[in-house]
Structure 1
């Protein structure tokens, strides 16, 4: 019997199955899922990390990894595009169907400027001349609120913060006014004050263009305010579907109720007043670019402007602020991963300005979990090799068996099966890759860990597990954390001290309870409202 064609459906996914061939055998990531998106509709797909959300969309766009295979049907306006030749598929993706990827650093080419990368889809799919494409790029960067867009057009991806790179990806996806926008965690790397503005922008474009949006996310607050319908996924299968209001007010399954109830909780007590200072920075300044001179333009930009910080044993300092405020740059400067001015001291030893060789003895005690896990994990190494690489350098006396045992324990600590150790990074979801990055850091048993957005790619239920993990590891090994995040709910649950940054400076700091319950600065109050009253703000903007 012929399939019924629904004229109002922009996208139909029918009984799709996605299987990956791995060294451990075939892994079925998606098992017979069907869903659809109507014209002008916003549909959200939610579920825990590894539930198969992103793999459905990657298969729909013909972007599965080489060891992946999809069966079933994916119809765009009635035409099955699942097995279209690349040449025909390219006429649809990028023009009619556009996608915002979860990890902006690996989706942007590091060798090309932002201008060049945004011009390409406008010229290829939109037929614009280079000069008209440049004008449209400037318009798009203003649209997604990139600061100083004229200067940023000439920047490379590594010169931008994670949130700014995510906004560039959104601008690229919107460049040709697509028919359907597939957004895979589009606000993950965005600070709370920008999330509402981006969602408002998407809603405006949707109303103006009749665009449909398929929204993959773990942020249920955004889903409740933004989506018309919701699909809930679990372990590669569809758990529940329905209108947004129905799902949130009367969920049909225990799993959906668990997702809705999962929120970071608890509060960390401050360390003893006489606790040892593990890592400190005095008047830390980080400047990018080159100073002006004869026939040379001044391109200097100061990202961190004279900051003092002292991290004590078993303390967690939360560093918050908008994208581009200098949070991540400060963390890298303290670990001597960036050239900086000022004085940095680790366990009483000044490490400011040490070169790579002289820093090596300190590296096992100073670890970092990066914001973009896919970009920081070698695609050519298995998970086991990634986790044990540091052990080979810093604990060369361990036997191969001892290294394997340490790697297995680290994977268990972050909630992953040791049997996954022979897989490669691309065979994991974004959230699973983030847990691998945490395992790589903790396997060395460091004294200080700088955690740069370590829970940004994790759904709420897994965030709670990771928070408990970090708390336990901190207690067992007397660890100290610098916790950089835009997720204020997680910062509140994990930190005992908070620093609020803006434009490279600290505008407010103090004990977590004091800053959250009684902020002294209007900027901090605005951050708090955006974080904890997001649904209300979205409703106001989308009304």
Structure 2
């Protein structure tokens, strides 16, 4: 029944026992979900939004405990035994997560993983469960569902894997679907498709959705009501339209203003060309073997030409699989390629590893996931100065330490943190460490591969401002690879749009955003323009 409260959280507290004492992640919050509505729980990393729902589902880590009440249709989920809880969890309340690849078992086919909850909760036979799994894949609009039942997770795209997770969550016709950052890692067009799909399924099935996210643009378009969380507390709540039109709390206002802003000026007309690629091609061999026959050739980068000038930022955009990251690595000679690549007056096309080594300090790369690219066994000081051991071996340990202090200050981190380890930092701080590691070598060209995609909007804004300052201070040139078009627009003065290894359109940033010519570009830009208009109006 519409308007009926089906989930009520009262005075929920979540605590974790750690070596440093008890950490209170959620501090006595209250919220409710009505039948058929969409409730968004928003906030930055560490706000407690995900732990609130993990506690509701009794999915906390072993060192966590929850008190209070999570009432689902008259039952306090926090007090139920495992057998009673399993009659609700996965059947009446389902959950989908941010990264489906870590939620799907790589050893089982999609069909087997879909059939498991159906057989567990509904007791269907194998044939009936298979038919239901096929129906679910059709429901979430997976192409060629019969074949996909036999596929493994790694054989599907990110968007397809997320659709499979949605199908699994819907397998038992739940009352409530909890979606924890389900679109953060997806391209803008795939993100739009997933959101549209969820809205269609909600209308068709009549379920309530709890949407956990840090992206307020999604919330405005998708949610009926909003809870804003910070440091484990709800600081503001209300109907979505009212909250966005007239936010009351300073933190909510800050989140709404956290869009990267400003426009980068183009380089001087006579600026020298630092990095140039002509007709660059990259091919990968796929499959093959004694029984499989000859391998297939995938052309990931198809005869692309590019010129990067001093103090220029070229944004490279496109969906996953478009070849943008492969192009960046090829231009740095981190992948074998065909065509001509020049850095200044040096031809890198045939350069081997030894030839490239002295040039590495001038051609740096910053990765998407700083936690994965920073060694957990090294201190921050050791990580930052590691390149100096190779490129400036004559420096004393004291001189290296001084350079580390200088680099940390430049990226806005305290020099005292250099004796700490990566796991002791937030995502935004780790990205600053990764930037410091690149900048300490005083490069001329930096390839930034999705450096902000995993960060909260407010942290993204800080990183964009930091990168622009470093560029101005050191005459840097950037290749900025991203699927986040709002960030690309704020960072770049020139944009290349890629699809299936080819450039489909390129030009000055405002020209591409303001008057795209190609249909594919228009699809990408429409989402970014809608998002920008929303944030400006908010």
Range of TM-score over shorter length: 0.7 to 0.9
Alignment of 1:246-325 (within 5 A): 246-272=242-268, 273-278=270-275, 280=277, 282-290=279-287, 296=293, 299-325=296-322
Match of 2:198 among 198, 202, 214: 202
Q: Match of 1:540?
A: none
> Could you tell me how far apart the structure 1 residues matched to 2:162 and 2:477 are?
29
Q: Match of 1:474?
A: 471
Determine helix, strand or coil for the equivalent of 2:293: coil
Normalization by structure 1: what TM-score?
Answer: 0.80
> Closer, same or farther in 2 for the Cα pair 1:302/1:147, shift >3 Å?
farther
Alignment of 1:167-182 (within 5 A): 167=163, 169-182=165-178
Please, which runs of 5 or more residues in structure 1 have no aligned partner? 1-5, 538-543
The structural deviation recorded for 1:345 is 3.9
Q: Deviations over 1:116-138 (max 9, x none)?
A: 66565556556666777676666
Say yes or no: does 1:184 pair with 2:186: no
> Could you tell me how far apart the structure 2 residues matched to 1:81 and 1:136 are?
28
The structural deviation recorded for 1:142 is 6.1
Match of 2:223 among 227, 242, 246: 227
Say yes or no: does 1:453 pair with 2:463: no
The structural deviation recorded for 1:236 is 2.8
Does the Cα contact within 8 Å between 2:259 and 2:457 map onto a contact in 1? yes
> Closer, same or farther in 2 for the Cα pair 1:27/1:122, shift >3 Å?
same
Question: Alignment RMSD, CA only?
Answer: 4.2
Determine helix, strand or coil for the equivalent of 2:470: helix
Q: Match of 1:370?
A: 367
> Closer, same or farther in 2 for the Cα pair 1:319/1:125, shift >3 Å?
farther
Q: Deviations over 1:290-341 (max 9, x none)?
A: 4699862765443332222222332211111233322233333334454544
Does the Cα contact within 8 Å between 1:114 and 1:168 map onto a contact in 2? yes
> Could you tell me how far apart the structure 1 residues matched to 2:451 and 2:33 are?
32
> Could you tell me how far apart the structure 2 residues matched to 1:117 and 1:357 are?
48
The structural deviation recorded for 1:42 is 0.9
Alignment of 1:299-448 (within 5 A): 299-351=296-348, 361-373=358-370, 375-376=372-373, 434=431, 437-442=434-439, 444-448=441-445
Determine helix, strand or coil for the equivalent of 1:533: helix
Alignment of 1:483-502 (within 5 A): 483-502=480-499
| More moved, 196-205 vs 87-96 | 87-96
| More moved, 445-454 vs 317-326 | 445-454
> Could you tell me how far apart the structure 2 residues matched to 1:363 and 1:296 are?
39
Alignment of 1:88-167 (within 5 A): 92-108=88-104, 121=117, 166-167=162-163
Please, which runs of 5 or more residues in structure 2 have no aligned partner? none
Q: Match of 2:36?
A: 40
Say yes or no: does 1:522 pair with 2:519: yes
Q: Match of 1:212?
A: 208
> Could you tell me how far apart the structure 2 residues matched to 1:389 and 1:85 are?
52
Q: Match of 1:242?
A: 238
> Could you tell me how far apart the structure 1 residues matched to 2:463 and 2:305 are?
28
Does the Cα contact within 8 Å between 1:164 and 1:324 map onto a contact in 2? no
Match of 1:506 among 492, 496, 503: 503
Determine helix, strand or coil for the equivalent of 1:303: strand
Determine helix, strand or coil for the equivalent of 2:316: strand
Q: Match of 2:9?
A: 12
Determine helix, strand or coil for the equivalent of 2:11: strand
> Could you tell me how far apart the structure 1 residues matched to 2:132 and 2:251 are?
45
> Could you tell me how far apart the structure 2 residues matched to 1:102 and 1:188 are?
7
> Could you tell me how far apart the structure 2 residues matched to 1:536 and 1:505 are?
30
Which has the larger Rg?
Answer: 2
> Closer, same or farther in 2 for the Cα pair 1:294/1:270, shift >3 Å?
same
The structural deviation recorded for 1:243 is 1.1
The structural deviation recorded for 1:368 is 3.2
Does the Cα contact within 8 Å between 1:336 and 1:353 map onto a contact in 2? no
> Could you tell me how far apart the structure 1 residues matched to 2:394 and 2:150 are?
48
> Could you tell me how far apart the structure 1 residues matched to 2:385 and 2:113 are?
36
| More moved, 81-90 vs 210-219 | 81-90
The structural deviation recorded for 1:85 is 6.5
> Closer, same or farther in 2 for the Cα pair 1:258/1:301, shift >3 Å?
same
> Closer, same or farther in 2 for the Cα pair 1:171/1:134, shift >3 Å?
same
> Could you tell me how far apart the structure 2 residues matched to 1:59 and 1:427 are?
24
Structure with more relative contact order (C-alpha pairs < 8 Å, separation 6 or more):
1
Determine helix, strand or coil for the equivalent of 2:185: coil
The structural deviation recorded for 1:499 is 0.5
> Could you tell me how far apart the structure 1 residues matched to 2:490 and 2:455 are?
15
Determine helix, strand or coil for the equivalent of 2:488: helix
The structural deviation recorded for 1:384 is 6.2
> Could you tell me how far apart the structure 2 residues matched to 1:321 and 1:64 are?
37
Determine helix, strand or coil for the equivalent of 2:184: coil
